[in-house]
Amino acid sequence: MGDIVEFGRVILFASGALLLAIGVRMVAGRLAVPTAGLLLVAAAAASDLFDRLDGVLTFEDVQRIVTLALVVILFEGGSNIGLRRFRASAAPILALGVLGTFGTAALVAVAAHYALGFSWTVAGLLGAALAPTDPAVTFSVLAGRDVSGRSGTILEGESGFNDPVGIALMIGMIEVATHDDASPLWTIVEEFVREMAIGLAVGVAGALALATLIRRAPLPDRTLYPIAVILAVGAIYGAATVAKGSGFLAVFVAGILVGDMRYAARSAVRDFSSALTDLGELAAFVVLGLTVDLALIGDAGLWWQGLVLAALLGLVIRPLVVTPLLLPARLDWGERGFVVWSGLKGAVPILLASLAVVSGTDDAAKIYGIVFVVVLCSVVVQGSLVPSVAARLGVEMVPARPHS
């Protein structure tokens, strides 16, 4: 009987938290603030105010929950892009997703070392965590809107392709931080090549298998199609991860390749995926917020360090890295400026910072706190201003037409 009661408490807590998260989302909509920002602050404040919430989830639990959320979010994001839109913007997407992420990590590390006085190892960990843009926030901010030109596609594609780079960088830096004889450059290169190659291969193979399932294996009930598709997405992620590749890249690529397919149950599948994406976003930012210690951030002076790094990242580092990479692309200067501004940070940087905590690196708690502050600034300030910046730069954002 005790086990049943305890399980009931778990269900009550999870369901209640997500219902409150929906309420926060409604408030965020009225305030024109991205949901992620309010969820992070509300969950972090709740964990500080109520002792029972502190430690209710381990970092390993949070990593698993956020990973599941990102799998759904990335597949849905890739499906929204589709192969036709991706082909038109492949060059700038890959340039920003790969070269841009490496360049951002390097300059963030330099800024953290010289401006904030961190050791090169800690600065490198901060750079690796903060380099990737975030698909959850990017897709959420652009959701329901069609962005004129190719800038929206470039931002969505960048946020999907830079995850393997960020993971490779973080693994390499953790090796340096925890092993005296580690070779960071070789570890990073080896991890990056393996994750990209295997993730891409599994994504393509998974997309072909999924397309075959949809077209040639008619299910007895149309309501099974959404379930079959999401289970196939889980299998694609699992296969890539077990093969030591990037599961995130695999599901994103699979989503792109099947995104333009037309089939009878397409509308039901897209509606189901969209609902799971919303649930995943809510769950990810709630559990991430519960792991944040606001008291430590205040006592250790991490607020001002995070604010300095956020300002440098948004106003100096991203323009320096992204502007040259976009020069070969056929974009007007307004579109380039929109891409520069809209490189939003979110769940992925916090997830990467949690790897440093689990690995027991030096100053891991400080790294986690600073990354939280940077992400919060990015979501609340940059994310809230995206529509205004788009209007100023002449990039039209209009309500999207419903998917058929």
Got the DSSP string for 212-248? Answer: HHHHHS--SSTTHHHHHHHHHHHHHHHHHHHTTS-HH
- Per run of 10 residues, the mean pLDDT along the chain (length 404 residues) is 73 78 76 77 81 74 89 90 90 92 94 92 93 84 73 88 85 81 71 88 94 80 84 94 92 92 83 86 86 84 92 95 91 90 89 88 90 92 88 79 54
The helix/strand/coil state of 134 is coil
**Please, are residues 100 and 322 in contact by the beta-carbon 8 Å criterion?**
yes
Closest CA to 282 of 12, 63, 22: 22
pLDDT score recorded for residue 320: 96
Residue-wise burial string across 356-377, b where 16 or more C-beta atoms lie within 10 A, e elsewhere: bbebebebbbbbbbbbbbbbbb
**What pLDDT, in 10s, does the model give residues 20-69?**
778 877 776 776 677 777 888 888 888 777 766 666 778 888 889 989 99
Q: What's the rounded Cα separation, in Å, for the pair 234 and 391?
A: 38
In CATH terms, 2-399 corresponds, of 1.20.1530.20, 2.30.140.10, 1.10.1520.10, 1.10.3720.10, to 1.20.1530.20
Prediction pTM value: 0.88
Beta bridge mates, 146: 398
CA nearest 331: which of 157, 102, 148?
Answer: 148
Dist. CA 375–CA 124, nearest whole Å:
17
| Angle of the 101-114 helix axis to the 163-178 helix axis, nearest 10 | 40
Measure CA 128 to chain center. Answer: 14
- The pLDDT assigned to 127 comes to 94
Q: Which ranges in 217-346 belong to alpha helices (H)?
A: 224-242, 247-258, 266-290, 294-299, 302-312, 318-326, 333-341
Strand partners, 398: 146
Task: Give the dihedral sign, CA 330/332/333/334.
Answer: negative
The pLDDT of residue 175 is 82
Instruction: Tally the residues of the chain.
Output: 404
CA distance 196 to 348: 17
**What is the CA angle 327-307-105, rounded to 5?**
45
What span, in angstroms and rounded, lies between the C-alpha atoms of 230 and 118?
Answer: 43
